[in-house]
Structure 1
């Protein structure tokens, strides 16, 4: 299906809403019926039509069609956050006594779910180095139900060979879930490589304007209906119509934003690689990246996120650098119009800082839509103050 068609036309029937170019926001909680039989049928299967906007909603459905097509999936669900999408995808496929294999250092709220919530139900998780397929093979137990992936990771951008993991999991009758927030469906399509379910934080590139929080989960229609009928309706964590409309708006410009961000990121990476106060630049599409060949094999692009290891003997040098940035904001998340920085040492007490620990000196940057020279000038003056 053509990308331009998906972003600009799929799911949109303008004759039904006064030929308006932008679809309406169906800001309703409820839907009316004229016949008792009609209402009875919807009670039997709420996934079939509109009953109550905690479930299906027309504006959300336009978005669902577009996002499922981008992922090359049969269907998708849209949640009120990426964390909700993660929780629903995992919780719907485990029961007491089950086991999960996860890549180590996943997204914070995925790890909190694995460590703090699932053990209450007798569900255990084994974390592995996902760079080697043999680690997955060794970690699988008779009660393993899920392999959880995040490729690339959002700090050091470690990858997994998605095709190899999918083949292994399918042979063992294990469900695979991949967090694809870094790449979006435009730059990586895990389902095409055999992954069962793919999720992403739509807060990031899909929204693109730092004004909406949402999560997407795609897979077979059967999988999505199972989650809709249970986790989504019970937890009530579907997206609101207005936020769905904001994501539709974001999708219109997604390709051009990613192209611009990608081009700027390459220039920023080259600048940082040659700066004496930078020990290392970590970026999946740089030839120095340890998994560069795999990145090129399964990703068609890499944009925005990169990490540096700063050449610093003291935490204060990193603190001074980050606090001296004038235009690059210090904040979490990514994917909006604005460039961001977040130092790893923000989660480390000063007395625990270790200059010999590479991770302690990491600063993650997100490159936004600003001009590259504008960003480089900001880096330059901040580096000068942190010497």
Structure 2
């Protein structure tokens, strides 16, 4: 099943909705049945049938089928945010008193889940440098039940050896979960390396228009069904039909958006590397990245996010630079059509060593437009 077919044809039964090219929004909370027996059958098979949109909805289901197929997964659940995807997936695989090994500095709300929420239930998490598989092996305990990965990480983009970690985890009966938001399935397919569950902030590249918040969980039919009948149905982190429909729209252009962003990013990085204002640059496909061979082995394209640190450490200068840029918005997230910056000085004190770090996301603007903007304003620093 090729990528184009998945995006444009899979699960789209156009003859059932007037041969419309775009799928409909089934904007309903409830579904009726003509007989008690049919109603009973639907209740007993809620994962596959439609009863109540909190569980299943035709528009959302169409998106789930496409997302699973792109991932090479048996099944997928769409939820209301990336944080919901992480929480549902992690909670589904852990019990009170068990142990998690996580990469250090994961996404903020993954960290919050492990350090603030799960600790209430005597679940302890050990955070390790994920660049060396030995750190996972050394951190393993008899009660370790889950390894949580994020490759690349979302600020300094360290990678993990997915195949090696998956093989170790399986030898110990440990479940693996990865946040693959930086890559999408078009760039990296963790299930092919043996990872058990893949989670996404689908808000980002998959939606790509900065108008939907969504999350996804992909994996085996068994594990997704387990999550559906427990955490998903209980916590109610659903994706609305309207947002699912917007994401179906977005998938049509996913591959060309990723290609454009990746190509422009490489041009912008080439420009910045020649600037005497830059102290360091972090990017998986940078030639001086010590993990570049692993990046090239696991990832199929460069993608559109990187971080720099400036030689200038005065916060007022960094703020002025950020506020002077005309084609970069100051905002969180990434993956949309617009280029973004996220300054570390908004999160740390003025004397923090990371104060001059600035994370860039490159959108769909022309490279020359972005480079001209940077060139003009780097003189501030």
TM value normalised by structure 2: 0.99
Q: Secondary structure at the match of 1:239?
A: coil
* Cα displacement (A) at 1:79: 0.5
Would you say 1:376 and 2:371 are equivalent positions? yes
* Cα displacement (A) at 1:6: 0.4
Deviations 1:314-373 (A, max 9, x none): 2222111111111210000000000000111110133xx24xx2x332100000000111
Deviations 1:237-263 (A, max 9, x none): 110001001111110000011111111
Query: Aligned residue for 2:331?
Result: 331
* Cα displacement (A) at 1:91: 0.4
CA distance in 2, matches of 1:280, 1:291: 16
Deviations 1:139-194 (A, max 9, x none): 11111110000000110000000000000000000000000000100000000110
Contact 2:313 2:355 in 1 (8 A): no
Matches within 5 A, 1:1-80: 1-80=1-80
Query: Aligned residue for 2:223?
Result: 223
Query: Aligned residue for 2:122?
Result: 122
CA distance in 1, matches of 2:281, 2:96: 43
CA distance in 1, matches of 2:221, 2:202: 20
Contact 2:47 2:225 in 1 (8 A): yes
Matches within 5 A, 1:113-192: 113-192=113-192
CA distance in 2, matches of 1:44, 1:205: 35
Query: Aligned residue for 1:81?
Result: 81
Would you say 1:285 and 2:285 are equivalent positions? yes
Contact 2:77 2:218 in 1 (8 A): yes
Q: Secondary structure at the match of 2:23?
A: coil
Contact 2:313 2:356 in 1 (8 A): no
CA distance in 1, matches of 2:323, 2:235: 40
CA distance in 2, matches of 1:302, 1:151: 13
CA distance in 2, matches of 1:123, 1:374: 49
CA distance in 1, matches of 2:302, 2:68: 21
CA distance in 2, matches of 1:46, 1:198: 23
* Cα displacement (A) at 1:313: 3.1
CA distance in 2, matches of 1:313, 1:304: 25
CA distance in 1, matches of 2:345, 2:57: 43
CA distance in 2, matches of 1:140, 1:360: 34
* Cα displacement (A) at 1:38: 1.8
Q: Secondary structure at the match of 2:185?
A: helix
Contact 2:208 2:250 in 1 (8 A): yes
Would you say 1:361 and 2:356 are equivalent positions? yes
Structure 1: which 5+ runs fail to align? none
Would you say 1:271 and 2:271 are equivalent positions? yes
* Cα displacement (A) at 1:36: 1.1
More deviation, 205-214/275-284: 275-284
CA distance in 1, matches of 2:348, 2:144: 34
CA distance in 2, matches of 1:60, 1:179: 21
* Cα displacement (A) at 1:380: 1.6
CA distance in 1, matches of 2:344, 2:362: 17
* Cα displacement (A) at 1:376: 0.8
- Matched length: 381
Structure 2: which 5+ runs fail to align? none
Query: Aligned residue for 2:212?
Result: 212
Q: Secondary structure at the match of 1:309?
A: strand
CA distance in 2, matches of 1:298, 1:111: 25
